[in-house]
């Protein structure tokens, strides 16, 4: 397979951008905290970064359960004649099942995932974090 067929430029459509926070409103706390953790900025750099954060506040994640989004850019990846890769699901260990269920429900609620019927599928797997929580991952090795 030629290399050029693997690396395709996605079709990009621009949609209207969410407006900047009005000047009288302060920078949201999570972004103000981010700005305060950059102590080596000159006053001009500080103002520039603050304006960027104010203008693009909507693309930053607010916490670990909130995903930053960029809703004004949509793209479609053209796979042309590439056959769909469908891998079988792997069994989820019993002690991870509730954590996986809660994670998937949270992703559905936040809009990170949507139900679909696709000819493509990759299995999920679970990784235990240092704090004991469970991270749900998707195994895309065969896709890549």
Percentage with pLDDT > 90 across the chain = 21
Residue-level pLDDT at 17: 52
Residue-level pLDDT at 29: 82
DSSP the chain: --HHHHS-PPEEEE-PPPPPPPTTSPPPHHHHHHHHT-TT--HHHHHHHHHHHHHTGGGS-SSTT-----TTEEEE---TTPPPPB-PPPPPPGGGHHHHHHHHHHHHHHTS------S-B--EEEEE-TTS-EEEEE--TTT-
pTM of the model: 0.56
Residue-level pLDDT at 64: 72
Residues of the chain whose pLDDT is less than 70?
1-25, 67-71
């Amino acid at each position: 397979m030629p290399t050029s067929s693997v690396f395709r430029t996605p079709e990009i459509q621009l949609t209207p951008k969410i407006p900047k926070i009005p000047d009288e409103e302060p920078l949201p706390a999570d972004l103000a905290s981010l700005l305060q953790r950059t102590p080596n900025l000159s006053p001009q750099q500080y103002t520039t970064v603050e304006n960027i954060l104010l203008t693009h506040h909507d693309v930053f994640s607010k916490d670990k359960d909130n995903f930053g989004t960029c809703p004004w850019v949509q793209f479609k990846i053209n796979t042309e004649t590439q056959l769909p890769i469908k891998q079988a699901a792997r069994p989820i260990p019993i002690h991870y099942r509730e954590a996986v269920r809660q994670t998937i429900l949270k992703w559905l609620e936040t809009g990170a995932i949507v139900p679909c019927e696709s000819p493509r599928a990759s299995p999920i797997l679970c990784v235990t974090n240092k704090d004991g929580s469970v991270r749900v991952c998707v195994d895309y090795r065969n896709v890549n």
